[in-house]
Chains A and B, each alone.
Chain A
C-alpha cells in the first residue's frame, strides 16, 4: 500500500518542521517528505488541504481494562477509541486484574493488541508482585515479554526499603521507573483536594503534602540509585517546584500531567459531580495555573489522558463511593490544543507535548515523522469544533467532566504502520 498525503500542513516537533509538505508512505514507512521518490505510484491519495499532518500521538496512560475488568471496557472498544483520538502509541498501566506482573500476561496482552492491528500498545510492568509493594517482579523477563518501563501507577508506593531496591534493580538494566507520588498514610479515604470545596462539601481529603512528601522520597531515592524516574500525574504547584529543582540538579527525572488537571480545579466538583472524582484530586485554581505554566516552561514534559473508562453504575453513587477516573484518550488532542491556544503557543510546541516528548519518556521510536520512520501519523482539522457527547465518544466509558463542552480538533485520519486505521469524512 502506497499512500500520498498531499497539501497538508506538516507539523513535526522533533524535526522542527511546520510547512505545507506532502508525505509519501510505502511498506508501512515514511519514504519521502516534500517530493515523491522517482518510482512512486500511490494506491491512495489523501487530500489534507487545510489540515494538519503530524506524528501520531503518544499517550502515557491509557487503561484498556484487560485483563479482568472487561465490564468497564474491552481491548477492542478502547483501541478503537485510541485511534479515533489520533493516538498511535500508548502505555497502559499495570492496574488490571490480575496486574501485569507476569511475562505470560504481558505477552497475551501484546498478542491480542497486535491482532487488532491498531495502535502500538506498551504495557507498563508492575514494579512489585501483585502491585503489593512487597516483592520485586521479574523485570528483565517482563522486558523480554514487552514491558518497556515499570511502575506502581495508582499511587500505592511500596515502603521505602522495597522502593529503593526496586529502583536499584531497575537501574541495573537501565529500565525507567514510573511512579505517581502519593503517600498512602496521608491519603486514607480522601477523595478531594484539601481545600475550600472539600471543606464546603464535607468530603474527606488528600492534602498536597501527600504528593510532596512522596515526591521528596522519590527524588532522594532517584539520586541514591541513579535510576531514571518518570513522575506520573503531578497535581500541585509545590510538586512542580520540587521537580523543577530536581531537574536543575541534573537528575534524570521527567514528569507528566493529565488533560483534566490543566483545565479543571476543585471548583468543577460543583454539587458532587462524580465525573470529577479522580486521583490525584483536582486541586485549587492556583495549582491549575502552576500546572499550565509548568507545562509551558518545560518543567512538565508531557500531557497524557490518564484514560480510565468507568461504567455508568459505578459513577451513579455518592461522590466518595463512586469509582475514580475519567475517560480521555479521545480528548487528548482537543484539550491539549485548547491549552496551547489559550497559552498562545505555536502548533509545533503544542504538539510536542503529545508526540515527541512522551515518546522520549517511553523510550520508543515514535512521535516523529522522518524518512525511514514508521508511518504512524494523524491528520486533523485544528479549526473544527465538536461537542463532547456520549454518542461522539467511542470509548466504552462516557465518564468525563467535559461532557457537553465544545472542544477544538477533529481527527480526520489516523495511520499506523502505513495503514489507515481511522478515517472520517466530513
Chain B
C-alpha cells in the first residue's frame, strides 16, 4: 500500500510533480518565486541559462498535444537541457509495448526527467512509483486527474495581477467533470489561501461531491459571477454532445459562454483566464478573449517560466 504522498521524498522535498493536491504552501510558493526569476530570462536577447546542461529530458506524450509539449520543450532548452520528444501515441504503444516497458527502455538511455502526458488518470503516479529514485517525473496531464503545471502557471498569473490570494473570489467555469485543469486549479487555489472558489456549470458537467474539494457550486452565471475577481474558463470538448452531457454548443454558449455582458457581472477589475486552446463562440466570446480584461496570452508566456522553475527545482539546480 502506498501511503506517503508519492511526489515528496522522505524529507518532504519535491521529487516529482504529479498533482497540486497535498503540496505544502511552501513548495507552491517556491515554484512561483523561482518562476519570477525566470520571467526575465525569457525576455532577454540570449534566452539560455546553463542550469540543466547535460541533462536529458524526455517528453513522453501518449496523448497528442502541441502547446503543452512545445512549452515544456522551450522551457527545457532555455535551461540548456537536451530534449527528446517522443510521440508515443503513434509508436511503441501501438506495437503492444506496455507503458512501463516504454519507460524502462527510455530510462536505460539515461533519462534524467520524464514529462508525461497520458489519457489515463494515474499514469504519472504509476511511472513515478516505478522509476529509479534519481529520475524525476513531471505530470503534463493524466486523464481527468491532474495538470499541475497548468494550475501553477495560472497561480503565477493570478499573483502577478492580483498580488495576494487571501482576499480573492475565483470562479472556474465549464466542464469541471472531465477537466484535469480544474482539479489542479482547485487544489492550488485552496492551498494558497483563496477564501472562496466557485465552480459554475450545468449538473451534467460537475463531478459528484465536488463540494468536498472545497468549492461552492453554482449553476447560474449571473449569481456565480457576482463579486468575482478571477474567471478561469475551461475548454469544452465536442464529444460532450455525443455523450449526452449537453444538447448543443449554441445552448451552452447562451447559458455558460463568457460574453462581455456576463463578464460585466463580475468585479470591474476581474481578469479572465483560459488554459487554451480556446473555442471562440463556445465557451468564450472573442470580445472577451481579446478584451482588456483577458490575460490569456500572458498565461502562455508565464507557462514557460513556471515550467523552467519546476524542472530546475526537481533537478536540484535551483537558481
**A residues apposed to B, CB below 8 Å:** 194-196, 198-205, 207, 268, 270-273, 313, 316-321, 401, 403-404
* Most B CB within 10 A of own CB, among A194, A198, A321: A321
Are B210 and A199 in contact, CB atoms less than 8 angstroms apart?
A: yes
B175-197 Cβ-contact flags toward A at 8 Å (1 or 0) = 00000100100000000000000
**B126 adjacent to A316 (CB under 8 Å):** yes
Give B100's nearest chain A residue, CB to CB: A316
Q: A201-B121, A272-B122 are in contact. List 10 more A-B contacts (CB 8 A).
A: A199-B208, A201-B122, A202-B142, A203-B145, A205-B208, A270-B3, A316-B126, A316-B130, A319-B120, A403-B1
* Interface residue B307 (Cβ < 8 Å from any Cβ of A): no
Which residues of B lie under 8 Å from residue A320 when comparing CB positions? 120-122, 143
The binding surface of chain A is classed by DSSP as: loop
Q: Which of B3, B122, B123, B143 has the largest count of A CB atoms less than 10 A from its CB?
A: B122
Measured CB to CB, the closest approach of chain B to A28, in angstroms, equals 43
Q: Is the CB of B118 closer than 8 A to any CB of chain A?
A: yes
> In the complex, which residues of chain B have a beta carbon less than 8 angstroms from the beta carbon of A401?
1
In the complex, which residues of chain B have a beta carbon less than 8 angstroms from the beta carbon of A319?
Answer: 120-122
Cβ contacts under 8 Å, B180 to chain A: 202
Out of B100, B121, B212, which one reaches A203, CB within 8 Å?
B121
Residues of B within 8 A of A313 (CB): 98
B138-182: CB near A (< 8 Å → 1, else 0) gives: 000011111000000000000000000000000000000000100
- B130 neighbours in A (Cβ, 8 Å): 316
Taking a contact as CB atoms under 8 Å apart, the answer to whether B146 and A271 are in contact is no
**Chain B 53-70: CB-based contact to A (< 8 A → 1; otherwise 0):** 000000000000000000
How distant is the Cα of A268 from the Cα of B1 in the complex, in angstroms? 9
B1-34 CB mask vs A (1 if < 8 Å, else 0) is 1110110000000000000010000000000000
| 4 shortest interchain CB distances as A-B pairs | A202-B144, A272-B122, A318-B120, A202-B145
Q: Which residues of B contact A317 (CB under 8 A)?
A: 98-99, 120, 126
By the criterion CB–CB under 8 Å, are B209 and A272 in contact?
no
Does B125 have its Cβ within 8 Å of any Cβ on chain A? Answer: yes
Can you offer 16 A-B residue contacts whose CB atoms are under 8 A?
A195-B208, A195-B209, A198-B207, A199-B208, A200-B212, A200-B213, A202-B145, A202-B146, A268-B1, A271-B2, A271-B122, A271-B125, A272-B122, A318-B143, A319-B121, A320-B121
- The answer, among B98, B143, B209, B212, for a CB contact under 8 Å with A316, is B98
B2→A273 contact, CB < 8 A? yes
Closest to A405 in B: B1
Assembly CA distance A321 to B143 (angstroms): 12
Q: Is the CB of B208 within 8 A of A272?
A: no
Binding site for A on B (CB under 8 A): 1-3, 5-6, 21, 98-100, 118, 120-123, 125-126, 130, 142-146, 180, 183, 207-210, 212-213
Minimum Cβ distance to chain A for residue B33 (Å): 27
Tell me the smallest distance from the CB of B102 to a CB of chain A, in Å: 12
> Would A271 and B123 be within 8 Å (CB), given that A199-B208, A201-B145, A202-B180 are in contact?
no
Q: Could you tell me the distance in whole angstroms from the C-beta of A83 to the nearest C-beta in chain B?
A: 28
Which of B100, B121, B180, B210: most chain A Cβ within 10 A? B121
Taking a contact as CB atoms under 8 Å apart, the answer to whether A200 and B120 are in contact is no
Closest chain B residue to A404, Cβ basis: B1
Least Cβ distance of B68 to chain A in Å?
17
Residue of B nearest to A403 (CB): B1
For A318, the chain B residues whose CB sits under 8 A away are 99, 118, 120-123, 126, 142-143
B7: nearest residue on chain A (CB-CB)? A271
Asked if B143 and A271 sit within 8 Å, CB to CB, the answer is no
Q: A320-B121, A320-B122 are in contact. Are A273 and B183 (CB under 8 A)?
A: no
Name which of A201, A272, A318 has the most chain B CB atoms within 10 A of its CB: A318
- B212's nearest neighbour on chain A, judged by CB, is A196
Determine whether the beta carbon of A273 is less than 8 Å from that of B145: no
Contacts of A403 in B (CB 8 A): 1
User: In the complex, A207 Cα to B142 Cα: how many Å?
Assistant: 22
What residue of chain B has the Cβ atom nearest to residue A272's Cβ? B122
Shortest Cβ distance from B175 into chain A, in angstroms?
Answer: 12
Output the nearest chain A residue to B180 by Cβ-Cβ distance. A202
Q: Give the chain B neighbours of A270 by CB distance below 8 A.
A: 1-3
Q: CA of A204 to CA of B120 in the docked complex: distance in angstroms?
A: 10
Whether the Cβ atoms of A272 and B121 lie closer than 8 Å is yes
B contact residues around A207 at 8 Å (CB): 208
- What separation, in Å, do the CA atoms of A271 and B100 have in the docked complex? 17
Do residues A272 and B126 form an inter-chain contact, with CB atoms below 8 A? yes
Q: Which among A202, A319, A401 has the highest number of chain B CB atoms within 10 Å?
A: A202
